[in-house]
Every structure is written in structure tokens, then in C-alpha cells.
């Protein structure tokens, strides 16, 4: 994966496969500390200590369609290349919390990429899951909460094509407004 948005998509999809009903994604840019941090928290099935110990092994996966699980190992490697690290905490029945850091200005940090596309894809493919996204930077905060959107939409499905177009446009405009440097 060449951009962080694709890692967000991959990890959040893992959350939905683990039965999460709510996935929280928090991206924070901190130029003063030269830090970019990404947190993804879910209320899914969680992992046992044994599963957690193997989570960064590329030859371990819980998926039945293939024998490798490259998402977490690739994200961990991307963080390490950019002067950061990845940590995971999880417990059965309590969900999973992933935190990954990068040197914000590090030459090897992957670009943020198409966050609007990643979030829109998550929403389109998982209409029964609530996603919250918070992007903080020195110039402001952008937030998206699909639970609140669903209330306003009433009977219109959140994954209706016209709704998705509006959501994508809103995300792009919101990120431009806070002038993301990532």
C-alpha cells in the first residue's frame, strides 16, 4: 500500500469483519512535535493474547480466502520507516485499539492519499456500521459521524449513490478547509 488512506481502509475493513458496529478513526497532525498519529478503535470481537501476539506476522491471518495477512505488517513497516511505531491493544469482547505514529515531515512517510475515497468506500460497503472520523491539524478539526448523518437522512440509505457523492464532497471540502499538510 502506497498511501495511508489505503491502510485506513484495510484496518477499518478488518474491524467490520470482526463484527464492529462502530469504528472510530482519528488522524492528528502535530508539526510542533513532527508527529502524525493515526488511531483506529472499534467495538468488534477483539483478539485473544495469542491472536494479538501473531497480529504482525505476515503469515498469520484469520481470513479463510488466503494464507497471508499483510495489512498490519505493512502498516507497521511503513511506520518504522518513517520514524514511528505501531501498537495494538485488544481483548475478546472488548474490541481493538490500534495506534500508529509517523514522523510528520519524514522523507519516507507515505502520503495521506484519498481519505475521502477510503471513507466513502467504507460507508458504501458497510451501511450498518457507524464510522466516526476526526482529523486534527494546527488549522482546525474536521469531523464526520455517520450515526448523526443517518438520523438526518431518515429513510434514505446512507449508501445511496447521491448521499455518497455528497459525503465524499463534504470530506474533501472539510479537509481542504483545515488545510491538511499530510
- pLDDT tens for the chain, 182 residues: list them: 789 999 999 999 999 999 999 999 999 999 999 999 999 999 999 999 988 888 877 665 655 554 445 789 899 999 999 999 999 999 999 999 999 999 999 999 999 999 999 999 999 999 999 999 999 999 999 999 999 999 999 899 999 999 999 999 999 999 999 975 55
pTM: predicted TM-score of the whole model, two decimal places: 0.91
Residue 145 inside a domain? The answer is yes
Residue 22 within any structural domain of the chain: yes
Q: What is the span of the domain harbouring residue 144?
A: 4-177
182 lies in a domain?
no
CATH number at residue 152: 3.30.565.10
C-beta separation of 156 from 163 below 8 A: yes
CA distance 142 to 88: 25
Domain count, the chain: 1
Amino acid at each position: 500500500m502506497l498511501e495511508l488512506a489505503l491502510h485506513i481502509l484495510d484496518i477499518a475493513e478488518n474491524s467490520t469483519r470482526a463484527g464492529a458496529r462502530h469504528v472510530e478513526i482519528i488522524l492528528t497532525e502535530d508539526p510542533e512535535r513532527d508527529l502524525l498519529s493515526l488511531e483506529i478503535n472499534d467495538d468488534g470481537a477483539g483478539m485473544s493474547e495469542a491472536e494479538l501476539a501473531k497480529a504482525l506476522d505476515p503469515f498469520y491471518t484469520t481470513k479463510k480466502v488466503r494464507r497471508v495477512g499483510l495489512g498490519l505488517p505493512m502498516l507497521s513497516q511503513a511506520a518504522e520507516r518513517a520514524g514511528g511505531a505501531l501498537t495494538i491493544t485488544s481483548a475478546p469482547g472488548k474490541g481493538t485499539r490500534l495506534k500508529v505514529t509517523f514522523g510528520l515531515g519524514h522523507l519516507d512517510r507515505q502520503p495521506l492519499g484519498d481519505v475521502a475515497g477510503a471513507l466513502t468506500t467504507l460507508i458504501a460497503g458497510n451501511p450498518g456500521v457507524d464510522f466516526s472520523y476526526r482529523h486534527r491539524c494546527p488549522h482546525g478539526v474536521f469531523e464526520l459521524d455517520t450515526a448523526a448523518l443517518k438520523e438526518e437522512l431518515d429513510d434514505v440509505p446512507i449508501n445511496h449513490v447521491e448521499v455518497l457523492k455528497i459525503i465524499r464532497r463534504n470530506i474533501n471540502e472539510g479537509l481542504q478547509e483545515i488545510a491538511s499538510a499530510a
